[in-house]
Amino acid sequence: MSPPNVRCLFLIFCCLTTSALAAKTRHFRWDVGYMFWSPDCVENVVMAINGQFPGPTIRARAGDTIVVHLHNKLHTEGLVIHWHGIRQLETPWADGTASISQCVINPEEPFVYRFKVDKAGTYFYHGHYGMQRSAGLYGSLIVDVAEGEKEPFHYDGEFNLLLSDWWHQSVHEQEVGLSSNPFRWIGEPQSVLINGRGQYNCSLAAHFNNSTSKLCKIKGDAQCSPHALRVLPNKTYRLRIASTTSLNSLNLAIGNHKMVVVEADGNYVDPVAVENMDIYSGESYSVLITTDQSPSMNYWVSLSVRGRKPNTPPGLTILNYYPNVPAKLPILPPPVSPLWNNYTHSKSFTNKILALESKTPKPPTRFNRRIYLLNTQTKINGFTKWSINNISLVLPSTPYLGSMKHNLKGAFDPKSPPERFSHHYDVMKPAANPNSTHGSGVYVLEFNTTIDIILQNANALAENVSEIHPWHLHGHDFWVLGYGEGKFSEKNDEKKLNLKNPPYRNTAVIFPYGWTALRFVTDNPGVWAFHCHIEPHLHMGMGVIFAEGVNRVKNIPDAAIGCGLTAKLTKNNGL
């Protein structure tokens, strides 16, 4: 053998071993069940994983394979887990959406999720069946850059802040209210939680003059005791922030500390410094903070409600400068959050989030198909619903992925949902006829094409009401080409779309009475949910289904199709 060949073989060998060393398969064994817990110092029942609430954090490197052996220990409820932000390339059956990507995992049935985390970023996971996310079924999923790779920014340490909202009423009862006629709304949460910990009916900062709440008396070892962020002076920290709220839009601020936003939904963004940041349900961010303030004291981290008139006091924890003790309360009052209905402030923040061009793919300049999705609150037989182009989504009992892959008839509405809504629809007023219909139809998208979605907001059932909806797409990131006011106009708005450095994300908000334009490429064979990430809104039908290249999907495990019309297609129900 000649010397060059040996060198060549050696190089190949090195590559193979490096890759084998770098990419790991990480196994997790999870028991999911209810337990008694006091997230905000009031005892309640939460959905826990291995006795933990929130569930255990999964930490991996880009390129790793995650294997979660799930054991449903609920008594009568099915279960699935969605890995929010993970695109599930080649594993669409592992997306964890009940009735879409898989059959629900029934009590005592085994199920194994196996998927690759292909891209570094801040992600999370959560239940995606009924309102089980609201019941507490969530946790963090952090993907570091691959071995040898570097982040495009420096930090000395990091913290993980998983944000949620919490009700004392059980989700079962919430679901009954939402499905009742007369309709019963779930109302505002009793508390907002930072890493599953909050303060109900009291404030950690009540001793400041502007607070009307009573002071919380929380023992350090209580389940609701806030976790302080312990920092050294003059360092840079990365805060990984994700919102899995059921309902609330949030604003996060840290007393005396600016935040530099560097990541959104697992993609780098052009660094931007802000005093406080908005975060909507389904979004994640990384921000950098520099501990350049007086180390003689601690500072507040404050989490407040936006976009809905808040009945819920801000959730607080402490930025704890060494060598102060964490229990030392800050001398300065908590940061003042922007007014809940200051949408100018919200839009300003959202518009600042732009792609880091050097690290982000650019959108195709043209689209192949543009779908207009009108978001309206409607009525079906007197029941209150949310509808998209006048169809309120109901999921079929046989999951789409299996029934579409195998061309089974009768599994869902064969008719494609409408591509657009009437030109005459006045988005600024309640609908003249608020009645809509149920539907389970699918937008079948041609494989490897560019799709535009114009999300169009409108007035809800009541006059002068239009709500925020954060829309989340499964299986893809999309480019957010722009946000606008009123009805989207091809004539006037098309030219304003940002094709230069649009943020690349998996969740984007529509503001009241506004529109949001998204673009994505159908390069991921599967069936994917696209929906409002507000749990009760999705429960009331606010979502659509996309399918692309389903004939290319391979190796769906038996357990994902072992129900309904696809049960007969299983071989051994092996995993």
Residue ranges that bind a second copy, judged by CB under 8 A: 33-36, 45, 75-78, 99, 104, 106-110, 129-132, 170, 172-173, 175-177, 179-180, 184, 394-397, 539, 558, 562-565, 567-568, 570-573
Distance CA 459, CA 454 (A): 16
- Residue 426: CB partners within 8 Å, gap ≥ 6? none
Nearer to a second copy, 77 or 452 (CB): 77
For tokens 């480019």, the residue is 479
Rounded to a whole number of angstroms, the minimum distance from the CB of residue 573 to a second copy is 5
Nearer to a second copy, 76 or 555 (CB): 76
Nearer to a second copy, 71 or 306 (CB): 71
Rounded to a whole number of angstroms, the minimum distance from the CB of residue 5 to a second copy is 50
Report whether the peptide linkage leading into residue 323 is cis, meaning its omega lies within 30 degrees of zero: yes
Q: What angle do CA 471, 476, 477 make, to 5 degrees?
A: 70
Distance CA 98, CA 104 (A): 5
Report whether 226 contacts 204 (CB < 8 A).
yes
- Residue 208: CB partners within 8 Å, gap ≥ 6? 333, 334
Rounded to a whole number of angstroms, the minimum distance from the CB of residue 531 to a second copy is 16
Rounded to a whole number of angstroms, the minimum distance from the CB of residue 413 to a second copy is 13
Rounded to a whole number of angstroms, the minimum distance from the CB of residue 189 to a second copy is 19
Which H or E element spans position 400?
Answer: helix 400-405
Nearer to a second copy, 362 or 568 (CB): 568
DSSP letters, 474-533, are SS--EEEEEEEESS--HHHHGGG---SS--EESEEEE-TTEEEEEEEE--S-EEEEEEE-
Distance CA 122, CA 505 (A): 12
H helices of 233-356, in order, are 343-352
Rounded to a whole number of angstroms, the minimum distance from the CB of residue 130 to a second copy is 4
Which H or E element spans position 472?
Answer: strand 469-473
Rounded to a whole number of angstroms, the minimum distance from the CB of residue 403 to a second copy is 11
Nearer to a second copy, 257 or 539 (CB): 539
Nearer to a second copy, 131 or 454 (CB): 131
Nearer to a second copy, 495 or 571 (CB): 571
Rounded to a whole number of angstroms, the minimum distance from the CB of residue 170 to a second copy is 6
Report whether 224 contacts 38 (CB < 8 A).
yes
- Phi then psi for residue 231, to 5 deg, are -125, 155
Nearer to a second copy, 176 or 428 (CB): 176
